[in-house]
Amino acid sequence: MITSAQMRAARALLGIDQKELAELAGVSAQTIQRMEASQGNVRGVVDSLTKVVDALSFAGIELIYDNAVSSQGGRGVRLREPAMPAPQDTGK
């Protein structure tokens, strides 16, 4: 579904930390930490994985899966126009 590297890259593109992703997805920060600590494909409860993928998509992240059409092939993430503006950095 999503790899830990894709999740970290998606967060980097959005400029958010694990806590902010957890809030967007409605899961705990520990869940995001465990997911990102996975090797390869993220492991976890399907409902939690779906919430994270949906939150990333809503924020403007397009996941590129194996064998998906892309100019270079391989997995990755792509930033597109978000459904809503990214959260602003409050300096915290």
Instruction: Render 21-61 in DSSP notation, one character per residue.
Output: HHHHHTS-HHHHHHHHHSSSB--S-HHHHHHHHHHHHHHTE
What domains can you pick out in the chain, each with its CATH number? 4-79 (1.10.260.40)
> pLDDT: is 31 or 66 the higher one?
31
pLDDT at 90: 54
| pLDDT tens digits, 67-90 | 666 665 555 677 566 666 655 655
Q: pLDDT value at position 49? A: 94
At 6-61, the pLDDT tens digits run 999 999 989 999 999 999 999 999 999 999 998 888 988 899 999 999 999 999 88
Residue 36, token pair as written in the block: 């990102």
91 pLDDT more than 90? no
